[in-house]
Homo-oligomer: A and B are copies of this chain.
């Protein structure tokens, strides 16, 4: 079904190109990144890049995605400790200059390029999200949080936690320009733990409190 003949593609070239891309991002930044420069650093012809990636954006997404693949969900025995660990891992990743300069750029580009959006989702977003899902399962097995009841509210809670954790870390590092240290990670973890527990089923349990009803919101104290 597929061509079996001819010279096969070089696997070394792939790795060299991704490495060169990250190296160039560190030195030149997103705006200064050029395909010719990447090719030269990788010791490869421009043609070879375009044979594998359609354009600069897709190349960068893959180069970044490889880094996100290294994220690991630890098991420290408590949800809070697990969250803090992941937050710090994520922060360390965002602190890398190639990520700082390129992550938001490809997300911006993806806002008007559906193909790129899909690639960002599979290469980057889903690789983060699975940590949230995994951490949640572990916490449920430990009994720290109630098990899934299969409602939409459950899925909504996963999404909310994901957006809060990832969003807060991204915002602090890339927008506010502040460092994420253990203290900050603990603070965020604490906020989440109380927020989720305090909700007594909270959001996700999604009952009365959701959807506009906020009769109790804040009035609780």
Contact = CB atoms under 8 A, between A and B. Distances in A.
A103 to B, nearest CB: 7
A201 interface: yes
Contact of A218 (B112, B191, B197): B197
A117 interface: yes
Q: How large is the interface on A (under 10, 10 to 19, 20 to 34, 35 or more residues)?
A: 35 or more
B80 A182 contact: no
A221 B162 CA distance: 22
Contacts of A216: 183, 193, 197
A159 B171 CA distance: 10
Contacts of A217: 78-81, 84, 139, 144-145, 183-184, 186-187, 189-190, 193, 196-197
A92 interface: no
A115 interface: no
A199 interface: yes
B191 A164 contact: yes
Given A79-B218, A218-B78, A219-B144, A187 B204 contact: yes
Contacts of A143: 219
Interface of A: 29-31, 76, 78-81, 84-85, 97, 100-105, 107-109, 111-112, 117, 120-121, 125, 139, 143-146, 156-157, 159-160, 162-164, 166-172, 174-178, 181-206, 209-221
Given A85-B211, A107-B174, A183-B216, 20 more contacts: A30-B109, A79-B217, A80-B218, A84-B214, A105-B108, A120-B175, A160-B188, A164-B168, A166-B175, A182-B213, A183-B206, A186-B206, A187-B203, A187-B214, A190-B195, A190-B203, A192-B195, A193-B216, A197-B198, A199-B220
Listed from nearest, the 5 A-B pairs whose CB atoms lie closest are A194-B198, A182-B213, A145-B218, A167-B171, A167-B167
